[in-house]
Structure 1
């Protein structure tokens, strides 16, 4: 083993360890690996930059724009509402309708975007039907992952596989080349769940009989208890003797002096018999005599605050729900959230939305050590509270995959204008035209996608300002920076060494044994690092393994792509798994209980069907 091979293996090992540790963003880790390869001379500067001009990268970027067009014009959201109308209240019927909708959606837009759109719809359906959301959300995530196996453009591993074949002098994968594999996996999942496979999924979240306002209030109280803030909320009335009279909330300095956060105020002058409607608590909100202040208190600060500032405690009352106009939401950060890496104190959430954050959970556990100073991570959930008029735009603008998503939308906010954009027909026609062109092979997939992306922008279906903010830069940089790793493995002989090890261990048992080995190795990687990075690493190994035993590379390449997308066994295996983690109340082992049997099914599909579709 040469020094160059040892060096590239060391860089690869550190890269995988950093991916698994989640201490740095994936794109930052990939850039560090790229720099390490360039500084050690394993790749030239031209080779280091080649990944960012790769056709796969351009195709994925263009397809993201197409997906944005369907979301910004309301087409994707309309499909979700259609599910709510046809699914009924039967668990089996909801499961079947949900899978048959989310899988085709994921075949053409990102699986993460599809789950973010469908999550509030499915949770609402579960509550309306008296079903635990836990029974539906893991199937939702798995259906989206399998949906990516239905078309060439459904998931990055398929595109990377096709590009690897082209680089080896073979024909690219057809647009529907992998569709039979995805269809069989989807049918297997559907049959298993409808036949009672949901028994493997524990009911971590109690079902509701219907989503009435009283039950929503109960759910809000449960959320307060879950986040450990139920006993920290108080309502205080400002007396004439209070030094707060006439001051703004910013001038009062209540968080600094007393650890008290005012999240709403109600005007209540002495001449009025009842308080007015709740107002968002902003930094410039002025306090007047008689105002009611809804406050979150730190431990032990209540008595001192009341005594020193001449405030009168008011009983919240069991029927007040804090205030009739106040609502509590639980929101989860998305993979592309601009809030990731920043703390609540650094963000302008109150100024931007007029709401306050009461607590933060990470993987279902409360952050207790100064949570407002903790940098946020993907999958973190926040408990926010505010007036209905402040939360309405938050739900409308953020619900469909921006910085965060709302798992369950209260009835008071659900009755919003949900009409399709006038440009929706244009987005549908352009997307269908792109699919026809790709399927017929009239243009390359990259050119067809770029043409459609530009047309969507020019026709106003996609707003450029929103697009640049929401583009999946992390994924694009990850792919562009990891592709030179495959180049370095090939140049140094590292790929050949790994392939030789696989062939020596399994080659004597025939190509099917090698296919199984490729599946297992890829599946293990994909549970802990992104499916995109896994595909970039595995495609050269699959090509080299096929060359060593003189078989066609297509069966191993396709198997590696399918195995990379079969990220079912852990909550960190895919962003869609993480998105449903808190809403379903799942534990780490819940994914393995359902995901590992499903991976075995996908393996069997690869063993029996891949050689038939793609002969050795």
Structure 2
């Protein structure tokens, strides 16, 4: 609410609206995880777009890209920066050990070429703000690009209509209905329904007796007892159920009836990365919430759902329409780590600890920034303070840890080590140096950045950093240049995944609410990546000379 009020004066003009949202998202991403920053800003953007009757499509992609860019500003903004920072220290420790063991080794020659006294040299990781000169400059230019030019590359046929009565409504929810005895659709052909309902309802699936979903014939005559999958706005659906005497399917009706003695409410929610519902189904939702939450409909962008709602596997970016006991609804949404796409009633008790939480977090940043404590100890201390002060309940501690990333890193670190121990990185480095031998040094930096960007668009950015970092180090040693600028290239490249919705969690998060198609991302993402390579290469050379 505070952010919404501050942005409101800038939302009247389209460019300033995009700039303000993108700028705030980038700043937040510098001091917190960029996915969390986007999740925080998403309701703000949707609310302001509805208020200004502006399509959310022109706001969400620039804001998502800005949150990715903002993560490059500090070490804690994005996982690749943390990995590269730690990798720098471990590589220097290894190089020092190899140089002391053999004074004629490539490691010893590297220290000699850099005029470094091996005996006095103390390996250190990149500090908190070491990424800021390059990352901050790129983020600033990137935000200006997406706000002034980039959003214009989004095809107009991908623009989603602004929200109407349902503040953040998704225009194509998928749900299941049946045709009762007095339904006005009886006797009509399926092909006539869309025109009959004034384009408010589309029948796209026929549910058979054995629970299969088939594509219906347009000349199929609708009969009593037929069951269909339909697309409709949730607000319009409620009106049409009364207007045309439609009914939900028996299973959904029974579950709703189980809540008839309670005070129920509806809520639209977005599945975030890391939510327990990711890759789960309706049965898991029912069990997890002890049957107190009912899935009414699902909206998914990019492809049609041709399954019964009970058979749908949820994905990141799906929007769910839920109904449940109003007293338990918020707790259920919180425990499932879902992002509500509606205004929430926030209690005063929550806000009373915001200042304390910011103070603890700021202290951790300051302690690590000035070298008083290692960053790991500073933030572990902050987490303990959150627990002791009641800001973070201990029962939620494990839920807040991104376990898939932890497991992925645990699996990829041995792969990274194996690339080095088997000589694979040296072989790749020799090949790349030989290929670019007659070209200027800056070309190698640009090449590393481009390769890293390409990998990051198809695999996790943390995994990309672990793969490319040892290769960059071997290239630096082979060329006899500092490893720092090449590691910076990897850090920048690994953070730039703008071409696909699967390249970064931020991209997946906006797919449904923004109404985007898979091909919409590269239209703005490709020029942005080219701009980053063109600007990033000289910036790295300026702040981190070879």
TM-score bucket (shorter structure) = 0.7 to 0.9
User: Does the alignment pair 1:470 with 2:400?
Assistant: yes
In structure 2, the residue matched to 1:52 is none
After TM superposition, the score normalised by the length of structure 1 is 0.67
Cα deviation code 1:143-201 (max 9, x no counterpart) = 11011101011111111111121112243212111112222222223322443432112
Q: CA deviation at 1:437?
A: 1.2
Matched residues in 2 for 1:171 and 1:402: separation?
39
- CA 87–484 in structure 1, closer or farther in 2 if over 3 Å, else same: same
Matched residues in 1 for 2:181 and 2:337: separation?
31
Unaligned runs of 5+ in 2: 93-122, 184-206, 212-220, 228-238, 249-262
- CA 233–424 in structure 1, closer or farther in 2 if over 3 Å, else same: farther
In structure 2, the residue matched to 1:554 is 484
In structure 2, the residue matched to 1:343 is 281
In structure 2, the residue matched to 1:280 is none
The alignment of Structure 1 onto Structure 2 pairs a total of residues equal to: 459
Q: CA deviation at 1:583?
A: 0.7
Cα deviation code 1:61-83 (max 9, x no counterpart) = xxxxxxxxxxxxxxxxx554444
- CA 524–304 in structure 1, closer or farther in 2 if over 3 Å, else same: closer
- CA 398–185 in structure 1, closer or farther in 2 if over 3 Å, else same: farther
Equivalent residues in 2 for 1:602-613, closer than 5 Å: 602-613=532-543
The higher-RCO structure (CA 8 Å, 6+ apart) is: 1
Pick the aligned partner of 1:403 from 337, 340, 344: 337
Unaligned runs of 5+ in 1: 1-77, 238-254, 260-298, 306-313
In structure 2, the residue matched to 1:443 is 373
In structure 1, the residue matched to 2:256 is none
Pick the aligned partner of 2:323 from 368, 386, 389: 386
Contact 1:104 1:147 in 2 (8 A): yes
Equivalent residues in 2 for 1:179-328, closer than 5 Å: 179-203=132-156, 204-208=158-162, 215-216=164-165, 223=171, 226-229=172-175, 232=178, 302-303=224-225, 316-318=241-243
In structure 2, the residue matched to 1:126 is 49
In structure 2, the residue matched to 1:50 is none
Q: CA deviation at 1:548?
A: 0.3
Matched residues in 2 for 1:531 and 1:136: separation?
24
In structure 1, the residue matched to 2:302 is 364
Equivalent residues in 2 for 1:555-570, closer than 5 Å: 555-570=485-500
- CA 99–320 in structure 1, closer or farther in 2 if over 3 Å, else same: farther
- CA 592–515 in structure 1, closer or farther in 2 if over 3 Å, else same: same
SS in 1 for 2:437: helix
- CA 518–99 in structure 1, closer or farther in 2 if over 3 Å, else same: same
In structure 1, the residue matched to 2:190 is none
Q: CA deviation at 1:420?
A: 4.0
Matched residues in 2 for 1:218 and 1:419: separation?
26
In structure 2, the residue matched to 1:538 is 468
In structure 2, the residue matched to 1:99 is 22
Cα deviation code 1:23-66 (max 9, x no counterpart) = xxxxxxxxxxxxxxxxxxxxxxxxxxxxxxxxxxxxxxxxxxxx
Matched residues in 2 for 1:580 and 1:315: separation?
29
In structure 2, the residue matched to 1:578 is 508
SS in 2 for 1:154: coil
Equivalent residues in 2 for 1:92-171, closer than 5 Å: 92-169=15-92, 170-171=123-124
Matched residues in 2 for 1:83 and 1:373: separation?
43
SS in 2 for 1:331: strand
Q: CA deviation at 1:333?
A: 1.7
Pick the aligned partner of 2:129 from 155, 176, 194: 176
- Bigger drift between 170-179 and 340-349 goes to 340-349
| C-alpha RMSD of matched pairs (Å) | 3.4
- CA 231–164 in structure 1, closer or farther in 2 if over 3 Å, else same: same
Cα deviation code 1:366-418 (max 9, x no counterpart) = 32133412433333333x2536xx3675357637x953223x31xxx545546
Cα deviation code 1:96-137 (max 9, x no counterpart) = 221221112111221111111211211111111121100000
